[in-house]
Amino acid sequence: MKRSYSILLIICIALALFTAACGSSSNNGSSNNSNQKETVTIQLPTTTDQMLAFEKSYAQQHPGQYGIVWPTQDAYYNAPWFYGFGAFYVKPDGTVGLNTPQATAAGNFIASFRPYLPKQLDGTTASSLFTSGKAPAIIDGPWSYAD
């Protein structure tokens, strides 16, 4: 049975606002508006199933863009998935939990995003995609709120 997990853990690491920066018509009538930005509100997914569905549909509807980005190769950003699926990295007694069925489920969930994300997605790339408007959402820490 497939379970749909809450994204509350992601919000705990400061899921940035779901907004997209995109070129738009200026309200002042100017036709040269390449530097003008418009904020577009996107429906926030509330489950992991919705999050993956959003990722897929956004990529299909916006070629060359991505739905939700995060540094997928960084254990810090993947921790919510591991702990949300009931896995753990290392317990205080030194027990490593990366070879459990729960960790496998978390890894498989993260891997399900790969077809819709750039290869080698690190923090710099994720931030650049978000701030340039090529991704309407980013999973990042509170330090990126100004972005």
Q: Which residues of the chain have pLDDT under 70?
A: 1-42, 147
CATH superfamily placement of domain 8-143: Periplasmic binding protein-like II (3.40.190.10)
pLDDT of residue 21: 31
pLDDT in tens, 54-97: 999 999 999 999 999 999 989 999 999 999 999 999 999 999 99
pLDDT of residue 40: 57
Burial, 99: exposed, middle or buried (Cβ in 10 Å; 0-12, 13-18, 19+)?
exposed
SS3 content of the chain, % helix, strand, coil (to 5): 35, 10, 50
pLDDT of residue 108: 96
